[in-house]
């Protein structure tokens, strides 16, 4: 079997640009709508949203690779890297590293890609690791770099990357292509096309001993940001993680041939889905701001605490809705007081009530939650 990098024309990928045209236009149109929506919120709320989206991206790009991180630690580290006040808690190396990479991507997206940039990201991602030989440099081991699954005695090889001895040449070629296809370069490519090729191309080279998927997705977001002229703030990894099996299947189906139209269609639609989710998050924040403005001075401390807890659950909200028992646990109050507080929140229009008796549940009374379900 020949892999794509073993083809004579590697890395000259082929694809049908016509089938991507409408998706490219939609991406630009929705990007403009996202930016327009952001104008309706203040700078402090915009920063809060940015940190929330970056935290979500950091957590899910790690989860795709099977690494589960603590959200509070990631968010605290991102705030710290932005120079904001934090609780000064000790941040584990993994959370600190991915946060550093996400902030660096956000702040330096418009710089040309370079070996040193990639090495810096790799050092950040592998902070605290002791099991890797090559940190902050391309892999050097002589063994084949393979993606495998199944039993040790009968493994299934999903992909084999170019040998380590070729990494310098392969990455010189990749970086030249990436920078040469930027918006103001000699051979510019449309946003989704460039980002999709960049991701597939990078993970097929697989230049690092570990962390290739996370860096590959960061490079895609870098490409999209460069096309727009500002950070994308996309929930790309969140969207990929929700259908991780399809992501890996599409990568595997695209690693044996240089014709990649199907991959670019899949990737482009995934980016557009991520845009939709990001728009819902922004709408959610705006609805939160408006609800708090309307209820200012009307809530007691218990109600305020419960409402804040509901909003921290994000778009998905409490699984199954907020129950009276949930409210009692959150506020440390009696059942009678909880009943009065919850009824008052319904009457004030903060919550919507569904069900009866032990099946009674409460939901945030904002339209965007219903749209996200």
| 22 and 52 assigned to the same domain | yes
| 214 and 111 assigned to the same domain | yes
CATH number of the domain encompassing residue 156: 1.10.3290.10
Give the per-residue pLDDT at 28: 96
* Tokens describing residue 74: 């990631």
| 271 and 304 assigned to the same domain | no
Average of pLDDT values for 333-350? 96
Tens digits of per-residue pLDDT, 72-123?
899 999 999 998 876 777 899 999 999 999 999 999 999 999 999 999 999 9
| 221 and 333 assigned to the same domain | no
How many folded domains does the chain comprise? 2
**Which of residues 315 and 261 earns the better pLDDT score?**
261
| 317 and 217 assigned to the same domain | no
Calpha distance 333→346 (Å, rounded): 18
Give the per-residue pLDDT at 373: 41
Query: Is the Cα torsion angle 117, 262, 30, 17 positive or negative in sign?
Result: positive
Residue 201 domain boundaries = 4-282
Closest CA to 190 of 315, 18, 349, 310: 18
| 227 and 343 assigned to the same domain | no
Give the per-residue pLDDT at 341: 97
| 117 and 193 assigned to the same domain | yes
| 178 and 116 assigned to the same domain | yes
| 75 and 172 assigned to the same domain | yes
CATH number of the domain encompassing residue 337: 1.10.10.10
Tens digits of per-residue pLDDT, 230-281?
999 899 999 999 999 999 999 999 999 999 999 999 999 999 999 999 998 8
| 337 and 269 assigned to the same domain | no
Give the per-residue pLDDT at 96: 95
Alpha helices in the chain (DSSP H): 21-38, 43-63, 71-81, 93-108, 115-125, 167-180, 191-205, 212-228, 236-242, 244-253, 261-295, 301-312, 324-331, 335-347, 367-372
Tens digits of per-residue pLDDT, 169-194?
999 999 999 999 999 999 999 999 99
**Considering all CA atoms of the chain, what is the largest pairwise distance in Å, rounded to the nearest integer?**
75
Give the per-residue pLDDT at 2: 87
The residue among 248, 282, 316 that closes a domain is 282
Tens digits of per-residue pLDDT, 122-147?
999 998 898 999 999 999 999 888 87
Tens digits of per-residue pLDDT, 197-210?
999 999 999 999 99
Does residue 196 have a pLDDT over 80? yes
Mean pLDDT of the chain: 92
| 322 and 257 assigned to the same domain | no
Does residue 371 have a pLDDT over 50? no
Does residue 12 have a pLDDT over 50? yes
| 347 and 198 assigned to the same domain | no
Does residue 156 have a pLDDT over 70? yes
């Amino acid at each position: 079997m020949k892999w794509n990098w073993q083809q004579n024309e590697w890395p000259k990928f082929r694809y049908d640009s016509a089938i991507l045209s409408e998706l490219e236009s939609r991406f630009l149109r929705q990007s403009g709508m996202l930016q327009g929506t952001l104008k309706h919120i203040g700078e402090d709320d915009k920063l809060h949203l940015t940190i929330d989206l970056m935290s979500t991206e950091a957590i899910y790009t790690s989860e795709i690779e099977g690494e589960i991180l603590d959200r509070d630690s990631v968010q605290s580290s991102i705030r710290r890297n932005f120079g904001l006040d934090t609780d000064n808690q000790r941040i584990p190396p993994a959370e600190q590293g991915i946060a550093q990479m996400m902030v660096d991507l956000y702040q330096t997206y418009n710089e040309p890609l370079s070996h040193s940039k990639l090495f810096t990201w790799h050092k950040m991602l592998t902070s605290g690791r002791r099991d890797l030989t090559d940190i902050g440099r391309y892999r050097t081991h002589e063994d084949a770099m393979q993606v495998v699954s199944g039993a040790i005695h009968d493994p299934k090889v999903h992909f084999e990357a170019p040998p380590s001895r070729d990494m310098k040449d392969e990455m010189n070629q990749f970086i030249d292509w990436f920078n040469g296809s930027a918006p103001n370069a000699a051979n510019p490519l449309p946003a989704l096309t460039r980002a999709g090729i960049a991701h597939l191309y990078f993970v097929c080279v697989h230049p690092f001993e570990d962390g290739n998927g996370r860096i590959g997705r960061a490079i895609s977001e870098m490409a999209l940001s460069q096309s727009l002229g500002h950070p994308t703030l996309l929930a790309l990894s969140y969207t990929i993680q929700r259908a991780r099996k399809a992501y890996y299947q599409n990568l595997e189906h695209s690693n044996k041939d240089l014709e990649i139209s199907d991959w670019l269609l899949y990737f482009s639609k995934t980016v557009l889905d991520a845009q939709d989710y990001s728009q819902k998050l922004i709408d959610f924040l705006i609805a939160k701001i408006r609800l708090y403005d309307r209820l200012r001075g009307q809530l007691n401390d218990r109600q305020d605490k419960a409402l804040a807890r509901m909003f921290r659950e994000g778009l998905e909200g409490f699984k199954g809705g907020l129950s009276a028992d949930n409210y009692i646990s959150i506020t440390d109050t009696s059942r009678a007081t909880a009943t009065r507080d919850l009824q008052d929140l319904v009457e004030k229009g903060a919550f919507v009530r569904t069900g009866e008796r032990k099946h009674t549940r409460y939901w945030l009374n904002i339209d965007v939650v219903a749209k996200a379900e």
